[in-house]
């Protein structure tokens, strides 16, 4: 049994803390957010997540959460950093939380401890940003005073199939010893492969590559969807067709925009790193541009449908379904829904918003009230509550147009009721 401190009890840190506790390690959670700390100590999840809620109840105070680093870091054999890595207003990496966490750790960590950064960072961050912070406290990670490694997190919140315990991982250490120590620790908690890479940089780059791969593929399919729409071709049918090829095709799906703390931001980490090194990531920037434009395209689809019935967005009563960046989660970070709402407001629409997972951001109390107040719908999030809605209700509430930003509704049924339907590359 090891004593483990997880720094940052969010979407990444909390499932990891639960897993470590389940595997018999003594677990402390350190977070600067007292609300989260109190919630964990009450065995309740600060995040809307059934899996986490059940785990915390089952673990029943096996995780000790605190806002005091001296209560946990000095007594730990392993310290894992899971703090946010957002971008700033200019889409430049904001490493403040990582730097603050490294600074806190450096003041309390004992020699010989394994220090893992799980936060997503650009290649070079540990060696150029984290190690100098440790060095200020005379900790030389290259001499293994502390064993520093990177193990990028792959968790997909809300994904019930690929839970944290069965996701393969990669690790890379500052030294061979730190890489080995990290790999051994992750093998003690995972029922999946742990691959040791030759450097910490390679591990940092792995995560950036995975998420950038998603972003560029989604941008590709978003572009195809827009062009197929003009050609009168349903993109979902084409993706289904292409997916019958048993090799070299991987389906990605178009939508109203890319959000979340990872895919919408991580490419900027690499774009900036490339810039620092004198390399221009044109492909990555184009993908970001295409995906960032999807909320505009989604509103354009509504405008086109309104034109057909001689109406305009100005003064239109538009119901927006969903605020979360993806289905069945309460995470609104970088959600394209905000851009959709912003554009609709700027164009003078009367906007009603409902998200069953984000009640605080909704301006109506439930779906019925939204349907009652709206003439037109724009679905942005494929929550199960929206996918399973009784479509007869749309007719009952005299909805005239549905823009399906996630291509998740029964278009034939909607059209059969005399309601105009348009999805992203689907009509
Ligand atoms: N959310 C995901 O799906 C996901 C998946 C894989 C990787 N990641 C990466 O993992 C990292 C964490 O993401 P997240 O979604 O869990 O973020 P989050 O915002 O849900 O959680 C981060 C937590 O860290 C705390 N924190 C911030 N600064 C701190 C400090 N100096 N000391 C202690 N605690 C501090 C915050 O209060 C918060 O509770 C990011 O780098 C992200 O890119 C996220």
Domains of the chain: 3-198 (3.40.50.720), 200-427 (3.40.50.720)
Using the CB atoms, write b or e for 66-89: b if 16+ within 10 Å.
beebeebbeebbbbbbbbbbebee
Q: Which pLDDT does position 52 carry in this prediction? A: 93
pLDDT tens for 81-136 read: 999 999 999 999 999 999 999 999 999 999 999 999 999 999 999 999 999 999 99
In angstroms, rounded to a whole number, what is the distance separating the alpha carbons of residues 149 and 151? 7
Cα(273) to centroid(ligand 1), Å:
21
**High-pLDDT (> 70) share of the chain, %:** 100
In angstroms, rounded to a whole number, what is the distance separating the alpha carbons of residues 133 and 145? 14
Q: What is the DSSP string of 196-221?
A: EPS-HHHHHHHHHHHHHHHHHHHHHH
pLDDT higher than 90, residue 151:
yes
Q: Are 284 and 270 in contact (CB under 8 A)?
A: yes
Is 33 exposed, middle or buried (CB count within 10 Å of its CB: 0-12, 13-18, 19+)? middle
Q: Whose C-alpha lies nearest to ligand 1, atom 37?
A: 33
Cβ–ligand 1 distance for 157 under 6 Å, the answer: yes
pLDDT tens for 247-305 read: 999 999 999 999 999 999 999 999 999 999 999 999 999 999 999 999 999 999 999 99
pLDDT tier for residue 220 given thresholds of 50, 70 and 90: very high
> 408 an active-site residue?
no
pLDDT tens for 44-80 read: 999 998 889 999 999 999 999 999 999 999 999 999 9
Q: Which pLDDT does position 158 carry in this prediction? A: 86
pLDDT tens for 344-379 read: 999 999 999 999 999 999 999 999 999 999 999 999
Cα(4) to centroid(ligand 1), Å:
17
pLDDT higher than 90, residue 7:
yes
Mean pLDDT value across residues 220-226: 98
Cα(115) to centroid(ligand 1), Å:
16
- Nearest-atom index, ligand 1, CA of 83: 24
CA distances from 93 to 10, 104, 269, 278, 396 (A): 19, 20, 6, 17, 48
Q: Which pLDDT does position 217 carry in this prediction? A: 98
Q: pTM for the complete prediction?
A: 0.95
Q: Whose C-alpha lies nearest to ligand 1, atom 7?
A: 153
Cβ–ligand 1 distance for 264 under 6 Å, the answer: no
Cβ–ligand 1 distance for 83 under 6 Å, the answer: yes
């Amino acid at each position: 049994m090891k004593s483990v401190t997880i720094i940052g009890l969010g979407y990444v840190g909390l499932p990891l803390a639960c897993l470590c506790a389940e595997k018999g390690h003594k677990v402390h959670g350190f977070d600067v957010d007292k609300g989260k700390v109190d919630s964990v100590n009450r065995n309740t999840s600060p995040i809307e997540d059934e899996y986490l809620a059940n785990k915390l109840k089952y673990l029943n105070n096996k995780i000790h959460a605190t806002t005091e680093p001296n209560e946990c870091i000095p007594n730990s054999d392993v310290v894992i950093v899971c703090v946010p890595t957002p971008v700033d207003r200019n889409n430049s990496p904001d490493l403040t939380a990582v730097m603050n966490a490294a600074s806190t750790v450096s003041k309390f960590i004992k020699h010989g401890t394994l220090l893992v950064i799980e936060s997503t960072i650009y290649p070079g961050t540990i060696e150029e940003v984290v190690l100098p912070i440790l060095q200020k406290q005379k900790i030389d990670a290259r001499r293994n005073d502390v064993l520093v490694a990177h193990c990028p997190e792959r968790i997909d919140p809300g994904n019930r199939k690929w839970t944290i315990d069965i996701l393969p991982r990669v690790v890379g250490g500052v030294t061979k010893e730190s890489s080995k120590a990290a790999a051994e620790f992750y093998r003690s908690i995972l029922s999946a492969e742990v691959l040791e890479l030759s450097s910490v940089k390679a591990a940092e780059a792995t995560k950036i590559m995975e998420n950038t791969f998603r972003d560029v593929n989604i941008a590709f399919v978003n572009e195809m969807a827009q062009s197929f729409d003009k050609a009168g071709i349903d993109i979902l049918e084409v993706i289904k067709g292409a997916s019958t090829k048993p090799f070299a095709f991987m389906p990605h799906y178009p939508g109203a925009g890319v959000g979340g703390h990872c895919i919408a931001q991580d490419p900027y980490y690499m774009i900036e790193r490339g810039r620092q090194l004198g390399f221009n990531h044109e492909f990555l920037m184009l993908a970001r541009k295409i995906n960032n434009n999807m909320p505009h395209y989604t509103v354009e689809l509504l405008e086109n449908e309104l034109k057909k019935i001689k109406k305009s967005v100005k003064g239109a009563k538009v119901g927006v379904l969903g605020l979360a960046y993806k289905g069945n989660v309460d995470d609104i970070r970088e959600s394209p829904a905000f851009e959709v709402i912003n554009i609709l407001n700027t164009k003078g629409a009367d906007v009603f918003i409902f998200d069953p997972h984000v009640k605080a951001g909704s301006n109506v109390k439930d779906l019925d009230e939204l349907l009652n107040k709206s003439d037109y719908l724009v679905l942005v999030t494929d929550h199960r509550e929206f996918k399973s809605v009784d479509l007869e209700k749309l007719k009952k509430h005299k909805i005239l147009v549905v823009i399906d930003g996630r291509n998740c509704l029964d278009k034939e049924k909607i059209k059969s009721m005399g309601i105009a339907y348009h999805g992203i590359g689907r009509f």
